[in-house]
Amino acid sequence: MTSFSDFLMQLNQDYQSDKIGTVYQCPERKITRKIKDPHTLILIVGVEGAGKTTFCKNNFSGFNVINFDSFIADNIKSVKDEEFDSLWNKFLNHAKECLQKGTTVIDANSVMMDFRFKLLYLLDGCYSKAVLVVLNPTKTQLISRIKSQLSLRIRPGMWEDVGYAYDSLQEQLQNNMISVGVSEVYIIK
């Protein structure tokens, strides 16, 4: 296996030479029909409140779905602070086991590229194809969803995080950086 820095350099070269995934604007219902390879890694990306978990429940019930936040919350109780790396490894092992069984969806909160690239690198060899599904509602829709679910939200500083993540996602979409490292990208508004 190559080093992570070599992996990132290759992604950069791919981006510079336009060897990047194909981007589709897609209605929700058509995505599962397009995923045919039995060992596809599907990463769900969107800012908090975009509807990732609901989208997974409605569209990917036939696949292995791992909600990153729930996995961490369920397992954090048994991990001491100094063992946080073991929790990350536990998550990766769980994802690898799921990929052996078939197509696996990772419902991850982070829209940051470094998180996505780290996952692709650490799971490399476990999947035959990587697909990114981006939930990208308008900022107005997002704020409306968050306000309606505010009582369910735990983090008090969420508004600042959502604004930063939203801007980062828009930049990635605008510069076509969203398609680096994956075969296909499906953008759902």
Is the model's pLDDT at 157 over the cut of 60?
A: no
pLDDT averaged over the chain?
84
Token digits of residue 128: 């035959």
Q: pLDDT tier at 131 (50, 70, 90 boundaries)?
A: very high
9-29 pLDDT, tens digit each: 999 999 999 888 888 887 766
Does pLDDT of 31 surpass 90? no
pLDDT (0 to 100) of residue 129: 93
Query: What pLDDT is stored for residue 158 in this prediction?
Result: 53
Could you report the per-residue pLDDT of 46-80, keeping only the tens digit for each? Answer: 988 888 888 999 888 889 999 988 888 787 776 66
Residue 142's nearest CA partner among 170, 122, 117 is: 170
Percent above pLDDT 90 for the chain: 39
Cα dihedral sign, 144-147-150-153: positive
Strand 40-45 with 104-107, pairing: parallel
Percentage of the chain modeled with pLDDT above 70: 84
Confidence class for position 88, pLDDT limits 50, 70, 90: confident
Q: Looking at per-residue confidence, does 162 or 98 come out higher?
A: 98
Of the chain, the end-to-end C-alpha distance in Å amounts to 37
Q: For the chain, what is the radius of gyration of the CA atoms?
A: 16
Choice between 112 and 106, residue whose per-residue pLDDT is larger: 106
Flag whether pLDDT at 153 surpasses 80. no
